Amino acid sequence: MAATEGVLLGMGNPLLDISAVVDDAFLAKYDIKLNNAILAEEKHLPMYDELASKSNVEYIAGGATQNSIRVAQWMLQTPGATSYMGCIGKDKFGEEMKKNAQVAGVTAHYYEDETTPTGTCAVCVVGGERSLIANLSAANCYKSEHLKKPENWALVEKAKYIYIAGFFLTVSPDSIQLVAEHAAANNKVFLMNLSAPFICEFFRDAQEKVLPYADYIFGNETEAKIFAKVRGWETENIEEIALKISQLPLASGKQKRIAVITQGADPVVVAEDGKVKTFPVILLPKEKLVDTNGAGDAFVGGFLSQLVQGKSIEDSVTAGCYAANVIIQRPGCTYPEKPDFN
Residues serving a catalytic function are 297
List b or e across 120-136, with b for residues whose CB sees 16 or more CB atoms inside 10 angstroms.
bbbbbbeebbbbbbbbb
DSSP state of 267: E
d(CA 152, CA 159): 11
The per-residue DSSP string of 152-176 comes to HHHHHHH-SEEEEEGGGGGT-HHHH
d(CA 231, CA 249): 14
d(CA 109, CA 123): 25
Sheet holding 8-11, edge to edge: 107-113, 82-89, 8-11, 161-165, 189-193, 216-220, 258-263, 266-272, 275-279
| Helix segments in 169-310, DSSP class H | 173-185, 197-202, 204-210, 221-230, 238-246, 295-307
Q: How far is CA 42 from CA 31, 52, 62, 209, 324, in A?
A: 12, 18, 22, 30, 33
Residue among 317, 269, 325, 272 at smallest CA distance from 294: 325
d(CA 148, CA 56): 42
Q: How far is CA 316 from CA 102, 233, 309, in A?
A: 25, 29, 10
